Chains A and B, each alone.
Chain A
Amino acid sequence: MNYRILEKKVLIPGQTTLLVIDAPHVAKKAKPGNFVILRTSEKGERIPLTIADCDPDAGTVTIVFLVVGKSTAELNTFEEGQALHDFCGPLGRPTHIEKQGTVICVGGGTGVAAMHHIAKGHAAMGNHVVAIVGARNKDLLLFCNELGNFCPEVLIATDDGSQGHHGFVTEVLKQRLEEDKDVSEVVAIGPVPMMEAVSKVTKPFGVKTTVSLNAIMVDGIGMCGACRCTVGGETKFACVDGPEFDGHKVDFGELRLRLSQFRSQEQESMQLFQHKCHCGEGK
């Protein structure tokens, strides 16, 4: 229980938060593409979160999460100085990074955090990294400044047109691919529909496309197969074989369905938590 929160930054109030965790042994080994599994408390469930950044010298790991249910809502109540009950990592295969030319990294929603770490890895390898970031409106955009530190191009798309391209990231991607025939890889991280749409866009261009799958996980070390998904007709475990796979081979429909497996219990748990929180406010 010494995984202390050294820094908390609310990126989007009530929705997205960044935490810097004191976890030297994880920081020492973490590579882009790796994830962690954490538990907030003694009674908590194990939830996977992609590593957004790490500093091996400082011994810290940065995670970014979206409040979607009980565990992330509870995590959002943690303040600097408090400690997480469990923090396990690094897990999963790291991103395959080699010097290859131009790489386009597409991020949507909280996925931008994970995409940021991978983009940073590609940039450090000497690749020309183009970042494409999308959100509903400009207030929900994440990591644009940080990406600007090492990406020569940061392209933005907002659904309402409040910043950058008026529309989806896929439209920006398509245009960029049409203009530049030398793109060697596209990396997409975000909601399942977004990763699926990106894979559809890149297919006709024949560009290698890597997606990071956010399957339901329990142990995260290959013990249970909760995170299994179909890739190229074969069953793979996202936690040990992935989480990154060839976007052109992933059965996204199946992934979406499997993600909905516990929806009713998730809602029950969340309602109970909100009820408790509400009661607590009166004290």
Chain B
Amino acid sequence: MSATPEKKAPKKSTPRTNMPVQPPFARIQNYLEVALGYSEADAQAEASRCIQCKKPSCRQGCPVEIDIKGFIGQLQKGDVPGAYKVLRAYNSLPSVCGRVCPQETQCEGMCILGKNPEKTGGAVAIGRLERFVADTFAARLAGGDAACLQITGEAACRMTHDELKVACIGAGPSSLTVAGYLASLGIKVTVYEALHEVGGVLVYGIPEFRLPKEIVRREVDAMRELGVEFKTNWVGGKAITVQELFDDGCKAVFIGVGAGLPQFMHVPGENNIGVFSANEYLTRVNLGRAYDFPNYDTPIFKADEVCVIGGGNVAMDAARTALRLGAKKVSIVYRRTKAEMPARLEELEHAIEEGVNLELLCAPLALNADENRRLASMTVQNMKLGEPDASGRRRPEPIEGDTREIPCQLAIIAVGTKPNPILLEATRGLALNKRGYIEANPETGETSIHNVFAGGDIVTGAATVISAMGAGRRAAKEIAKRLLGAEA
């Protein structure tokens, strides 16, 4: 008998479990979800790759600090409801985050298995597992306490504190998080949304092929069941003001109105026919279902050659949408290189697989029109990369005199957003920072006005769904503490 003490058998190098996707030639013909999700066997295989670290670093990479080891541990035991319960304690929209979070720079970026992918097979696919758990759990739910289970993971929710009213302005990810959290504690929440549908960027921005509307509807319906009231067509600052909400008996107000105002480039020809902001283009298609025109009434502008300006996720969404609407050639026009693009790697790869063309190291100088002022081409300035700038990315510099022309009849501008002034102008005493966003305490989310909280893009500028949810969660915890005291 060997005297060597028993050691844990080293994990074999099992590669990440692939997720089935619609093949590119098929998916650009439809608007259905591209990534199809894990089967039960896939999820088991992937969960078993997690080595359950003593000190898991993945958790530090998650903006809402999900107990990742915990939920995957439950999954390893085959306990989906158990895994869901862990997830839900940290994240109100797991089926959304599992789909749209940039995991490679967050949880998965910190996974120890990702440090040496040749030996380990790469980081655990945390996002895909989160999605599997949330989808599977939702599919198994039926009637009864379903809503309460979905939101809190508990079989029955606490009694309602009828006298404790909280209002959220805006119905995007941050407000939904606040509403879900507080409602699960029995607090009465009313959400005021300016558009006719609830979900913010989840319904007007992110396309169906990345995040099916059904998923958002499911989460929102669960909140309704819990007693959250959604008032659509109510514009914060116009139909209702923060002061009126307090006058009406609200104990706290959460502002989560996003940074919806699109930025333009201020180059000649920007108002020509065929030039759109990505917000308009995506809102028409996603919220207005213009991909199904004339069955739906909202029209969309179509063209054979399309240029999308920008390198973020919004640009990817717009480019892939244009392809699905029948464009023959779609180009992403970006002033740096592929390596500096802020878009998720997976989205960029999907876009390239689908045939999106990259026009790198160039910036638009002019949007040229034909004699009817319809867009015909774009003149771009060729660039080269110089020294790193404040963001750490190498600064693009124009190559003097080196320009070229790209033919296009549709240009979609996706170069970022600015804070929407409607609510800010209507709220006296609300302190803003230099960039025009709301100043909020990073610990509590409270603004310069007592018991008025804010979070998401209207505080940080355009960021991610999960960071908006993280902000919502912090604010909700603080509101609960103030309203319920020790009970929270």
Contacts and interface: CB of A to CB of B under 8 A. Distances in A.
A266 B293 CA distance: 11
Nearest to A230: B271
Most buried by B among A26, A219, A223: A223
Contacts of B204: 219, 223
Contacts of B289: 43
Nearest to B281: A224
A221 B260 contact: yes
Contact of B232 (A86, A223, A224, A262): A86
A235 B271 contact: yes
B134 to A, nearest CB: 27
A254 B271 contact: yes
Contacts of B283: 218-219, 223-224
A265 interface: yes
Nearest to B237: A221
B238 A90 contact: yes
Contact of A235 (B195, B261, B270, B276): B270
Interface string B136-172: 0000000000000000000000000000000000000
Given A46-B196, A46-B288, A219-B195, A225 B297 contact: no
B347 interface: no
Interface residues of A, number: 41
A258 B271 contact: yes
Interface in A26-67: 26, 29, 39, 43-46
Contact of B273 (A223, A225, A228, A260): A260
B442 interface: no
A221 B277 CA distance: 14
Interface string B243-274: 00000000000000000111010100011010
Given A46-B288, A86-B196, A88-B233, A225 B280 contact: yes
B194 A45 contact: no
A70 interface: yes
B239 interface: yes
A228 B196 contact: no
B295 interface: yes
Given A90-B239, A223-B261, A223-B283, A258 B273 contact: yes
B422 A257 contact: no
B262 A225 contact: yes
A268 interface: yes
A261 interface: yes
B403 to A, nearest CB: 24
Contacts of B293: 265, 269
Interface in A176-234: 218-219, 221-226, 228-230
A90 B301 CA distance: 28
A68 interface: no
Contacts of B232: 86
A133 interface: no
Given A86-B233, A89-B238, A218-B280, A39 B196 contact: yes
Contacts of B239: 25-26, 29, 88-90
Contact of A87 (B233, B276, B299): B233
Nearest to B260: A223
A39 B372 CA distance: 31
A222 B258 CA distance: 12
A75 B184 CA distance: 41
A10 interface: no
B444 interface: no
A44 B262 CA distance: 24
A268 B294 contact: yes
B299 to A, nearest CB: 4
A189 B183 CA distance: 47
Contacts of B261: 222-223
B20 interface: no
A110 to B, nearest CB: 20
A222 B238 CA distance: 13
B235 A88 contact: yes
B420 interface: yes
Contacts of A87: 233
B294 A226 contact: no
A76 interface: no
A146 B428 CA distance: 38
A269 B299 contact: yes
Given A235-B264, A257-B273, A223 B420 contact: yes
B238 A225 contact: no
A218 B284 CA distance: 7
A12 interface: no
A51 B422 CA distance: 19
B31 interface: no
B19 interface: no
B89 interface: no
A86 B299 CA distance: 18
A45 B240 CA distance: 24
A4 B195 CA distance: 19
A222 B194 CA distance: 11
A272 interface: yes
A136 interface: no
Nearest to B373: A257
A29 B273 contact: no
A272 B288 CA distance: 18
A63 B196 CA distance: 19
A221 B422 contact: yes
A91 B422 CA distance: 10
A142 to B, nearest CB: 26
Interface string B177-219: 0000000000000000011100000001000000000000000
A225 B301 contact: no
B194 A240 contact: no
Interface string A76-107: 00000000011111110000000000000000
Given A46-B196, A235-B271, A224 B422 contact: no
B312 to A, nearest CB: 17
B155 to A, nearest CB: 33
A16 interface: no
A127 interface: no
Interface of B: 194-196, 204, 232-235, 238-240, 260-262, 264, 266, 270-271, 273, 276-277, 279-280, 283-284, 288-289, 293-301, 372-373, 420-422
Closest 9 CB pairs of A and B: A265-B299, A224-B280, A45-B297, A88-B233, A223-B260, A45-B298, A86-B196, A224-B279, A262-B299
19 contacts: A25-B239, A43-B296, A43-B297, A85-B196, A90-B239, A218-B284, A221-B260, A222-B261, A223-B262, A230-B271, A240-B422, A257-B273, A257-B373, A258-B273, A260-B273, A261-B301, A265-B293, A265-B294, A272-B294
Given A223-B261, A223-B262, A225-B264, 20 more contacts: A25-B234, A29-B238, A39-B196, A43-B295, A43-B297, A46-B196, A86-B196, A88-B234, A218-B283, A218-B288, A222-B261, A222-B421, A223-B260, A223-B420, A224-B277, A224-B280, A230-B271, A260-B273, A265-B299, A266-B299
